[in-house]
Amino acid sequence: MKRALPLRLHATLATMALAAATGTLVSMPEAAAATGGATGYATQNGGTTGGAGGQTIRATTGTAIHQALCGRASTSTPITIEVTGTVNHANTKKVSGAGCDTADGVIELKKVSNVTLVGVGSGALFDQVGIHIRESKNIIVQNVTVRNVRKSGSPTSNGGDAIGIERNVRNVWIDHTTLEASGGESEGFDGLFDLKDNTQYVTLSYSVLRNSGRGGLVGNSESDRSNGYITYHHNRYENIDSRAPLLRGGIAHMYNNHYVRLNDSGINSRAGARAKVDNNYFEDSKDVLGTFYTDQAGYWQVGGNIFDNVTWSAPGSENRPAGPEPKSNTTVSIPYSHALDAAGCVPAIVSRTAGANKGLQVSDGRC
């Protein structure tokens, strides 16, 4: 399904010159970032539009992002924050105001709604600074790179998660992002994309997750089953040890993803979770689907997937791989419209579209 590429934003030469010269916030009333439309489960429950219809602000630091949030009339005033340059610990400080609840060393989207955070220009890099979405709704994060967020060592941020979403969150669309680490827990990192504590109606699309011990989870424990309605599509998971993702309860839909070098396990459906796994390409990986590391079973519906050089462990009491010939053990009804690319085309399509700084390209259905 082809999605129109976003229109370019318009600003006067004087405004652009001021932004370049000062590195400060630049307000552009009446402008609205055209980021395309949400997909997957983020289209449900009223939809996800982020800051559409509100003011657009340019930010070059983490502090400026916080200032933009705090400068709003209220926590729900729509806003699009365009980010360019490198956000790091030195330039990410707590700011106070009516429209925010922020902290040092992390991008806080806490107790807010109607926000778009989008990388522009030559790119937006969040270097060792995580993005934390908490007690919020209607949030879009698009076209950014988040790397090497630590939970131990120095500096730390966001509990070690590149993007962490938690506590009564609704309607989030994460799109065309690059989330990466330089190792696993022993090197000080945690998950790349974690959802927990009653988080629902989320889509992760056209993103790259790589070089991490943990790709991400839905549910922080076997009893945290209040999360769900999550879509993962046209993403590339590369060199991930496990959790691609780990699901505890709830419903998730994975389609047209390319999984390369899942080293220990991949989609781990457990604790009653139900995963619909359609037209994905799994390559050079181990135990890409099943219930792992628990005796609490999860379920899956499979169709159209390609398993290319995938190995499978023998089943045990806490290790129930779906393969070597995966078969469905549940059914999942998907409420939104979507077009499936052929699994054989997925590596080529994802290679040219997924990740930050790819021009927000999407699949046109061709290899």
The pLDDT value recorded for residue 99 is 85
Q: From the candidates 243, 248, 274, 320, give the one annotated as an active-site residue.
A: 243
Q: Nearest to residue 100, comparing CAs of 53, 129, 135, 130?
A: 135
Percent of the chain clearing pLDDT 90 (strictly above): 88
Q: Is 236 a catalytic residue?
A: no
Largest Cα–Cα separation, the chain: 66
Residue 277: how many CB atoms within 10 A of its CB?
Answer: 27
CATH, range 21-353: 2.160.20.10
CA angle 291, 292, 295 (to 5 degrees): 80
Compute the average pLDDT of residues 117-137. 97
Domain ranges within the chain, ordered by starting residue: 21-353
Q: Which helix (H) or strand (E) holds 25?
A: none
**What is the per-residue pLDDT across 319-333, written as a single tens digit (0 to 9) for each?**
999 999 999 999 999
Residue 15: how many CB atoms within 10 A of its CB?
Answer: 15
**What is the per-residue pLDDT across 199-253, written as a single tens digit (0 to 9) for each?**
999 999 999 999 999 999 999 999 999 999 999 999 999 999 999 999 999 999 9
Three-state SS at 351 = helix
The pLDDT value recorded for residue 128 is 98
Compute the average pLDDT of residues 45-71. 97
Query: Is the per-residue pLDDT at 138 higher than 90?
Result: yes
> Residue 20's pLDDT band (boundaries 50, 70, 90)?
very low
